[in-house]
Amino acid sequence: MECRIGCAACCIVISISSPIPGMPNGKPAGVPCANLTADKRCGLFGKPERPAVCGSLPPSLDMCGTTNEEAYAILSALEQATRPRGSAASSHQPITPPAHYQDIGETSI
């Protein structure tokens, strides 16, 4: 499937433990990646500094669902299921997009 521009769920919801340009300690869950552009594309797409993990997550129905809201719900559940036990961040609160990301459109990273 094609990525939906304006979704950006995988660039916001999930945590990334490896350093990312602009985020040397990695990206916490629920925090938009520093490399997201204003139109919610990856500013590092095609560049060598783009983290390998990002290229290892191709769009799929299992991860992205059929709507951006579904992608947020799927990835939120996945993030919570894979958090270490006892983690300070472990809660069962769903991870929702920051307010300025809630004008969900239909585009690709």
Please identify which residue in 56, 66, 100, 109 interacts with ligand SF4, judged by CB under 6 A.
109
Whole-number Å distance between alpha carbons of 67 and 53: 23
Dump strand ranges (E) for 1-109.
none
Binding-site string for ligand SF4 from residue 42 to residue 71, where x marks contact by CB under 6 A and - marks none: x-x-----xx--x----x---xx------x
The answer to whether 35 contacts ligand SF4 (rule: CB under 6 A) is: yes
- Comparing CB distances to ligand SF4, the nearer of 11 and 95 is 11
Distances (CA, A) of 95 to 28, 79, 90: 11, 9, 11
Q: What are phi and psi of 79, to 5 degrees?
A: -60, -45
Scanning 3-11, 78-86, 87-95, 97-105 for contacts with ligand SF4 by CB under 6 A, the matching segment is 3-11
How would you class 23 by CB atoms within 10 Å of its CB: exposed for 0-12, middle for 13-18, buried for 19 or more?
middle
Rule CB under 6 A: which residues touch ligand SF4? 3-4, 7-11, 20, 33, 35-36, 42, 44, 50-51, 54, 59, 63-64, 71, 109
